[in-house]
Amino acid sequence: MHILIIGAAGMVGRKLTDRLVKDKTLGGQEISALTLVDVVAPAKPAGFAGAVETITADLSAPGEAEKLAAKRPDTIFHLAAIVSGEAEADFDKGYRINLDGTRFLFEAIRQQGVQQRYAPRVVFTSSIAVFGAPFPDKIDDEFFSTPLTSYGTQKAIGELLLNDYSRKGFFDGIGIRLPTICVRPGKPNKAASGFFSNILREPLSGQEAVLPVSPEVRHWFASPRAAVGFLVHAATIDTARLGWRRNLSLPGLSATVGEEIEALRRVGGDKAVNLIRHEPDATIGKIVDGWARDFDASRAESLGFKAERSMDEIIRAHVEDELGGKIGG
């Protein structure tokens, strides 16, 4: 099996690569080749016996999607995107990367199948940002998409394209709406949701963090560990079970910022909590106010998708996976 990961240098892309290398198989098939693509050079994974190709490319640039589709991979993970805050701040870049890149990829796959049958599994990472207020208490998969950000709009269009290209048989697609991934390792990025991780990650390493919103803000979370599990499961699921609805809201945990902080206290103590400094940011607050807070993910759960049940679990996963089980700077 040949697997293509677009966005392989990102946090989730790197962790997905590591998981596939460790597992050596996907859906019972041996992984013989990996093609890893990003706008910065992805690292070659250690310990993989098959062929590995790393490519530095912008999916939205003319001709790049065609080159990747010409390799005819069996499974394609499309993770590439710019994040919410950046897409909102730079309208042109957001549509070029998040929409044009996605459409170019889907169309390149379709063209590969014109001469000779080719219909790979395509896993597209969407977002809960496709939904906009006003919200019910819990959002299910039947709730209408009315995104209130450019990022959410770009992802919603990608979902519609994935449905249509799958309906026509051009590829076998599944779109997964990821919760906000927390705790993200590394340094803060330009995502408006970044503070959800920052207020846990930095204090756990003995560093100060800024909280730009009220502790009453509620959001939908899953860990990086769960995100990789989502992707692997999406690549192997029987898509006939999806029917014509190819996009899913995935399981997660609904929690307030205050509940995050109390879980941090239980895991890291008062010393960690005291490193959080509250500095309200009206711009971030406005963006966050338009985000969904809780979901009914029973459809995805019935299909075998799983996530954490508590914020303590999410924090402990970060401590185990990123901090070697140790807390503090």
Query: Which residues are part of the catalytic machinery?
Result: 151
Contact 12, 228 (CB under 8 A): yes
Number of Cβ atoms within 10 Å of the Cβ of 243: 7
Token duo for residue 247? 């996009």
Q: Give the C-alpha distances (Å, rounded to integers) separating 64 from 107, 170, 250.
A: 12, 19, 30
Residue whose C-alpha is closest to residue 204's, from 183, 189, 181, 180: 183
Contact 180, 220 (CB under 8 A): yes
| Distant-in-sequence, close-in-space partners of 10: CB < 8 Å, separation ≥ 6 | 38, 79, 80
d(CA 285, CA 212): 7
Helix, strand, coil content of the chain in percent (nearest 5)? 45, 20, 40
Token duo for residue 297? 């993910």
Contact 227, 185 (CB under 8 A): no
